[in-house]
Chain A
């Protein structure tokens, strides 16, 4: 994957070193991105602590699913008002099944779309600072910056225990 922007890249073996470096860089005003082989909540809380917006989109999808499922069942029954099995034309109890399934279906689709949009996926063209070791056993910190500022960020990471810290230009 090609590097398309300039910045400082730090490769860490240890999680605590990466967290310490991220804290230093954040307090110095740098923007920091981390790349990790698995989810590290502690590093996540340091680098990007805010809540995800996925939940609101998912809730919206679920509510739309409820509205859509109930509307479909009720409206189509009124459109062709045929009594079957002695039940009401609009039989709310059986329509709960349709409403529930629609809530799950539409909520899940919105959940997926929110994950993709907020998470920047698909991101085939975004490869800044990526190294194949980050899917294996190393932690990467990427600080987008011009060459002079990136030198300073790399020095911070080196001081905090990065096994490799360098300026990477695109």
Chain B
């Protein structure tokens, strides 16, 4: 925080404007690599569309697997952005200012990635519009009692609201970039800033609307991952049919999302020289949130096992025994180590502020959280009510790996474009943290 108070308004404008021009060979290498992996993933998808879902490893009873794992993973990643931008805004947490734009961008790109997977999982992607409520010749309507339709509404609302929130929040900052830019960039920023002048009229209604966006987005965050959790909890399948799923999933989403924010911010801070803006204090605060949500997630895992035992239900007991000691137990133990044990290192401040250590911890958490979704989906489906279907035969194929890798590249490609062309830090909000320019201290009002 002390580094930030020594900044001037002008320096903030100069530093943020310089980020987009500071990209070098590393940016191009990362961008072209992302495009190459997207093309590979796209070819895998084209092959799947041509041949059918038989090219995946789907085997009864595991007919939901990596694609739905990816969907839940990316929706979870999306949650930290709205948490930081909306929830922490309402709570007036000052540490959000330096990182909220990055995490908001992450949210929008993560939802764009998540939204692909239900369509990919459909197999016949061209029929996706059947999920939408529209009048058709058979007078059929979608089933609003189904969590899958709730998902359509929740995810599309989340994408719309988080994108609008992201773009609206950028208007004053894009205007600041516009005033320093030349050529095509100036034209682009003029268009995107909507003629913003920073007038009292602009600010008055902007501030009010921003508050309401935050007020809408806060319960929306909770609702979206609750709805995603109900995709499972509304089913009777052992390992899924649980009332704790909604808070458990929301905590897990914040846990993984914050971890990915830290993973992305550490190299960005170094590459673009943002040490003055993103300080040890920010990492310390983010890490505490990761530690807290990690403890909630660990508690949820323990409650699941306890309730499976305490219920006396043989199907639940069998499912959870299989989860920890069955043929795919490796997934469970990866999850347990990375999500429960590794985050405990964050009790020590040294680990919360030692960036190489923190970087490794957060990468571990993201691996662990991907496996959490894999375990919940695949392992629960593998052990169903009927022992004769307990084949445990699902194994991901190269096509699924290719599409999964493509989704990560899809996310990173947009993120790289964001770094290059849009304000990575919120210029206007950083100035709010700095002391107001006063001739006579304490005389502003």
Contacts and interface: CB of A to CB of B under 8 A. Distances in A.
B163 to A, nearest CB: 10
A39 B145 contact: no
A91 B234 CA distance: 15
A14 B199 contact: no
A48 B175 contact: no
Interface of B is mostly: helix
A161 B437 CA distance: 13
B153 interface: yes
Contacts of B205: 52-54, 114-115, 118-119
A76 B133 CA distance: 9
Contacts of B199: 33-35, 120
B200 to A, nearest CB: 5
Interface string B176-204: 10111000000000100011111111111
B250 to A, nearest CB: 15
Nearest to A106: B157
Contacts, number: 210
Contacts of B219: 100, 104
Given A34-B200, A97-B150, A13 B176 contact: no
A84 to B, nearest CB: 6
B149 to A, nearest CB: 8
Nearest to B13: A136
Interface of A is mostly: helix
Interface in A95-122: 95, 97-98, 100-102, 104-105, 107-109, 111-112, 114-116, 118-122
B208 interface: yes
A95 B145 CA distance: 7
Given A16-B443, A38-B172, 6 more contacts: A34-B199, A48-B204, A100-B219, A104-B223, A120-B202, A121-B194
5 contacts: A40-B436, A102-B153, A109-B164, A121-B195, A121-B202
Interface of B: 8-10, 13, 133, 139-146, 149-150, 153-154, 156-157, 160-161, 164-165, 168, 171-172, 175-176, 178-180, 190, 194-209, 212-213, 216, 219-220, 223, 227, 427-429, 431-432, 436-440, 443-445
**The 9 nearest A-B residue pairs measured at CB:** A115-B209, A123-B195, A137-B9, A76-B141, A38-B431, A119-B205, A124-B195, A52-B208, A132-B179
